[in-house]
Amino acid sequence: MASDNRRNNTGQRLSTDQISAAAAAAEIIGGNEDLVAEILQRLPPKSLIRFKSVSKTWLFLISSDRFSLLHWQHQHPQFHDPKISGLFFTSRSGSGFIEFIPLIFSATINGGEENKSLALLTADMNTDKIVEDSCNGFLLICCTSRKIKYHVYNPTTKQFSTIPWTFFRVFTFPGDRVYLVFEPSKSLHYKFVLLQSKLYGGAYLCQMRIYSSETKAWSSPPNICDQHPFQVPRCVDLANGVYCNGSIHWISFSPLETSIYFDVDQQRFCPMPSPPCRIDVFKFWHFGKSWGHLHCINYHDATGLNVDVYEMESDYSKWTLKYR
């Protein structure tokens, strides 16, 4: 039987039947979008960019949000054990730059180009920029000039999006707290949470708005009426909220009072135990997260030389003393 000049990976010539069988198999695979996605998601991003020009079908597939999420999950199997590449912080030099300190050698980004791209978030180079929050690799940048503008910045791609800001205020003197919610293992879209509060007697009067990059619209959590702000006890530290595992958490200064958290997906507030130590606002303490757990660090004696490190159980049942 005649054969052409095509060869397999061992250098042997392929027969016409073998070539036909391979073509038929390729046609079957090519016609199955799920199989094509399984193959393409194993390729590096640069290859995917080239393969967008293969056909309109591949262009649509590779450009879809579903494929982007599958590709990200496959390329980041150790997402829950990430390496911290560096620290971003607001410069006090008045240059309009946000500084970057690499913690590993490979984190040095293009000889300072990272700072330049951050500085160009607005045309006004004299505009002050503040890193308000960060979440899973995205930065929330606040630019202040005649109007406040918030930008969500991706240091990897050097791209940013601007939050469409609407001044919806119930209070004459509101306190604004903003949070960035981004879970790339679940969705490539982010949410921007705005909490406004005003101290009134023994409680805070609060209102909340949420912006979704998926719907490009603002919304209010259900059961929280715009004209009737909800109340939060005065002992709850609204100035230091921490996002972790799908919720934003605020702790109480007093171990006798209940702390709270807001489940972003369910859009509801829930109680949680307060740390078993009284938080002294005039001494060093820290409320944050690490390895998917909430932590509270506080002095445990009057000398100020020793600290307690408490960790919240994943089921919100209690705080456990992890280190002393």
Instruction: Give the residue-averaged pLDDT of 123-137.
Output: 70
Instruction: Give the residue-averaged pLDDT of 36-63.
Output: 80
Residue-level pLDDT at 228: 63
Tell me the CA distances in angstroms from 32 to 23, 25, 38, 162, 298, one per residue in order.
14, 11, 10, 38, 57
Looking only at the bridges linking them, the beta strands covering 203-212 and 13-15 are unpaired
Q: Average the pLDDT over each of 95-99, 147-151, 264-268 and give the range with the smallest value.
A: 95-99
Residue-level pLDDT at 96: 58
The answer to whether 318 and 310 have CB atoms below 8 angstroms apart is: no
What residue spans define the domains of the chain?
Answer: 15-75, 84-165
* pLDDT tens digits, one per residue of 52-100: 888 887 787 887 777 777 776 666 654 544 566 677 776 666 555 677 7
Tell me the CA distances in angstroms from 138 to 83, 101, 126, 157, 225, one per residue in order.
15, 16, 23, 10, 30
Instruction: Give the residue-averaged pLDDT of 206-229.
Output: 81
Q: What is the DSSP letter of 48?
A: H
- Both tokens of 105, joined, read 């050698």
pLDDT tops 90 at residue 259:
yes
Residue-level pLDDT at 117: 47
